Amino acid sequence: MYKVIGNTRTRTLRVLWTLEELGLEYEHVSAPPRDPSVIAVNPAGKVPVLIAEGVPITDSLAIMTYLADRHTALTFAPGTIDRAHQDALTHFINEEFDQILWMAARHSFVLPEEHRLPAIKDSLKWEFEQSQQRLLPRMSETGPFLMGDTMTIADILLAHCLRWAANAKFPIVDDRIHAFGAMMLDRQAYKKAAAA
């Protein structure tokens, strides 16, 4: 059984959601970043941490990829063109959604107050809107998920970022993206993970 360390106010929620979608059993230890229980398995103090076969794996995207590959679900097969497109989309979302939102969080409450630049958030909101426009041509028009009828970890990543954006008051400017987020956050696996 897997063990997940990290609370759901962090990227840990993505990992829990992935596990729920895969129907896997896991133990969840809700711990904040830099908690002694986290530092014991990840000296950087960052969450999430997945313990698999006694080995800690860090970084939410690395964990999601590992789980999807290991259980051959929420992903296309490695070495295929579809997988290359999936990976490109996943990295795009990580760079153009996650990182923008993380920078905003850093300047809102993560960094020491004397190092925060609150004015940067206006620029980041503009950039976030531009990222949404760049995403639209990459979204499938034939299925409910980003790549059509097959749900992948890219869908979980984007939906989590959209939830994060709403909480941070970053506007979702396109109806398709808004509808996608609403559809994903209505999934039972998400609701179960979020309640953990």
Total domains present in the chain: 2
pLDDT in tens, 135-175: 999 999 999 999 999 999 999 999 999 999 999 999 999 99
Two structure tokens written together for 54: 């006694």
The pLDDT, as a whole number, for residue 183 is 98
Domain boundary among 35, 58, 74: 74
pLDDT in tens, 177-192: 999 999 999 999 999 9
Two structure tokens written together for 178: 């808004």
Burial (CB count within 10 angstroms: exposed 0-12, middle 13-18, buried 19+), residue 128: buried
Furthest-apart CA pair in the chain: how many Å? Answer: 49
Same domain for 55 and 137, yes or no, is no
CATH code assigned at 110: 1.20.1050.10
How far is CA 191 from its chain centroid? 15
Amino acid, res. 116? R
Task: Give the residue ranges of DSSP H helices in the chain.
Answer: 12-22, 36-39, 60-70, 81-93, 99-105, 120-135, 153-167, 175-185, 188-194
CATH code assigned at 17: 3.40.30.10
Residues of the chain under the 70 pLDDT cut: none
Same domain for 88 and 41, yes or no, is no
Domain hosting residue 166, numbered range: 81-193
Same domain for 108 and 25, yes or no, is no
Task: Report how far residue 191's alpha carbon sits from residue 77's, in angstroms, rounded to the nearest whole number.
Answer: 27
The model carries a pTM of 0.97
